[in-house]
């Protein structure tokens, strides 16, 4: 499949579109996470992608924790921490991007016009209280449905894999910024999903964790410099 873009251009366009759509897809979905239209829904021939990256690696997803979330953890006597390669610095969780893929279509051809995933293998967030420790790891951002999936362990035992942990809302996005070979999008809200909330309540014997509880604001940085 040939394109009017060079290989370098395709990778650059896809990388920038990736960070844009990770946030924008949430706003486009409206009130329902699942309100998406598959690219193949039309009876017309399937449109050709204008760009694609088969293997995405490098740079980070950062979540600056909301004060309300931190206060809620304090009230519940929950201690946040990190797992693996994640970092907690100056009130922000930082997860290295380890993989993923993306396909970009011309806006208006299909909805959503960017599909793929952003993977963060080997890192995660932990919550601990009273001898119980929950770890949420291997986070996978899916811009198509505005969700974040991940694995859950309780005191080292696997409780769930690829569970729907967080929901995304891109209506508070800041303008895209680029420079020094990267593209950055900041402003997408990250909240506790309706699936994760009751699980956390059960584990920590509380009813204080509500679906939609704001965790923080995401900042996603990816490289716009093509690899070898």
pTM of the predicted structure, to 2 decimals: 0.76
pLDDT digits (tens, 9 = 90+) for 28-54: 333 345 444 444 455 668 888 765 667
* Bridge partners, residue 115, by sequence: 103
Each residue of 65-114: pLDDT tens digit?
Answer: 999 999 999 999 999 999 999 999 999 999 999 998 766 566 678 776 55
Query: What would the two tokens of residue 149 be?
Result: 């999936």
């Amino acid at each position: 499949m040939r394109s009017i873009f060079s290989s370098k251009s395709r990778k650059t366009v896809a990388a920038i579109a990736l960070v844009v759509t990770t946030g924008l897809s949430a706003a486009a979905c409206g009130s329902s996470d699942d309100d998406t239209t598959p690219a193949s829904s039309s009876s017309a021939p399937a449109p050709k992608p204008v760009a694609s990256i088969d293997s995405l690696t490098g740079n980070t997803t950062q979540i600056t924790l909301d004060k309300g979330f931190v206060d809620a953890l304090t009230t519940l006597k929950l201690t946040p921490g990190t797992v693996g390669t994640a970092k907690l610095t100056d009130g922000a969780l930082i997860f290295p991007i380890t993989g993923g893929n993306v396909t970009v279509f011309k806006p208006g051809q299909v909805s959503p016009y960017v599909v793929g995933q952003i993977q963060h293998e080997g890192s995660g967030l932990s919550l601990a209280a009273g001898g119980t420790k929950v770890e949420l790891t291997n986070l996978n951002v899916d811009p198509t449905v505005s969700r974040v999936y991940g694995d859950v362990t309780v005191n080292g035992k696997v409780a769930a894999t690829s569970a729907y942990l967080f929901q995304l809302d891109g209506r508070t996005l800041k303008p895209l910024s680029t420079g020094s070979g990267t593209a950055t999008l900041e402003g997408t809200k990250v909240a506790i999903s309706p699936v994760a909330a009751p699980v956390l309540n059960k584990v920590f014997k509380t009813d204080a964790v509500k679906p939609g509880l704001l965790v923080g604001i995401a900042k996603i940085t990816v490289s716009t410099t093509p690899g070898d």
